[in-house]
A and B are shown apart, each in its own frame.
Chain A
């Protein structure tokens, strides 16, 4: 039987070389009878004997600095408190239910949910007060994960004073647990809508109501409202969790939709770096140079380095030399100095 009590302090003293002779005797006696401690000692040596892995320290550090600079911008955007989102969702639904009951929308909705009819072909919803973005199609969760750009959670718009159907929560299905929390609220709304059953619909339909009831899922459909900070943050999150495909798609979407936003400059740098790491120096170079053409300086040092690396991958020796020299001239104390000098030496040695 292996004993459960282990002289941990004696192990520490032995490791520090401060163990006394009598303590050593005690430790040896314990080791003779305790397989767990013998194992621990042996495996500690095994771990210490592992060779150093061959990872590119410069690249990892550079990526971390890029990520830091990107995230410096993120806190400017007010984050949506999940509790607020839930409260807002409930408030919006409550308002909708009250107004719907008053105007006859709710009975028709209840009827639609209790006795669903075959769904008609999707029709546009002109009565909505907020423009619908592209991704309003309701898709199953798994499918949404596969096809959608990075998820974004937005605060619901305030309820308007007129009885118009409102989106309950502007969410998009997301693989992250925190966002599931909000998405689940909107998913729960239809069941809540089913609760007040047995309401006779005696009021004549109102045109705006007909629009809402024509589509069987107006309450479920969560319109996605994207903005540049949201898109930037979502793409950053995708990048940090290693989903580079989603990150690249998110950054590209941001550049296409909000090319003049403050986030666009950093996106050029981050996307360039990401594409470079993904082995696409041509596309990377395009974004890196777009960043350098702008006025943002926060990532300039990193971008100059990445640009030189892109030239290296493309075999554009003279451009690479010029890029490294520019970096050295502008950032003589850069963390990339050693690499720049090594590359310059290598290139000068070439015929």
Chain B
């Protein structure tokens, strides 16, 4: 580790410890600690929910709200196997995936996160943005159709950027199970990509 990186890691470690301590106090019913913990975690939870659902999804606010409440309810079961941040992210992922699955039928016909009018007005220089949204939607829609465990793994791994080990510790399953779920999710992802000629072309698949 370089000297430049060490202070950053130390700061991150201190922050993790502070959150863990807050979580311990909150788990015992300390209202002040609960408030501080939620305030500290809420921005990242909001961001995770937005990534999983889309920026203008109608249920974004509700999912964040449910996740915050779910976090408070789940704190007594938190044993510190993963960071508080990952614990919170997993709760958001589960809530968002469940919401996405409930709305799957509707979302098959209509995607709230894409404003068609605004897309039509986009100049050519913004086609990257459209493509990015298209890719994100493919993953989100895939999550709504996969089995719950695979969808959660996909959400944590691809959308929220967890490592394999982080997925394993935060979901409490063996690393090999995570590998298996990622593989299955990617197989499904592959089928989706292969069914989308535009994506195939964009990715320049060598068949």
Contacts and interface: CB of A to CB of B under 8 A. Distances in A.
B196 to A, nearest CB: 10
B73 A71 contact: yes
B204 to A, nearest CB: 8
A12 interface: yes
Contact of A46 (B29, B135, B205): B135
B164 interface: yes
A2 B190 contact: yes
Contact of B135 (A16, A39, A53): A39
B171 interface: no
Contact of B62 (A9, A15, A61, A242): A242
Interface stretch (B15-23, B45-53, B79-87): B45-53
A43 B35 contact: no
B164 A12 contact: yes
Given A50-B51, A64-B65, A57 B46 contact: yes
Contacts of A345: none
Interface stretch (B36-44, B103-111, B118-126): B36-44
A39 B207 contact: no
A73 to B, nearest CB: 13
A332 B132 CA distance: 46
A331 B127 CA distance: 51
Contacts, number: 137
Contacts of B203: 35, 38-39, 42
B60 A55 contact: yes
Contact of B35 (A47, A49, A52, A65): A65
Interface of A: 1-2, 4-6, 8-9, 12, 15-16, 32-33, 35-40, 42-44, 46-53, 55, 57, 60-61, 63-65, 67-69, 71-72, 240, 242, 298, 301, 333-335
Interface of B: 29, 31-32, 34-36, 38-39, 42-43, 46-47, 50-51, 55, 59-62, 64-66, 68-69, 71-73, 132-133, 135-136, 138-139, 158-161, 163-165, 179, 182-183, 186-187, 189-190, 193-194, 199-200, 203-207
Given A43-B135, A46-B132, A50-B55, 15 more contacts: A4-B183, A16-B163, A36-B193, A42-B203, A44-B158, A47-B51, A47-B161, A55-B60, A57-B46, A60-B61, A63-B68, A64-B65, A65-B72, A67-B72, A333-B32
8 contacts: A39-B135, A39-B203, A43-B136, A52-B46, A61-B68, A67-B69, A72-B29, A301-B31
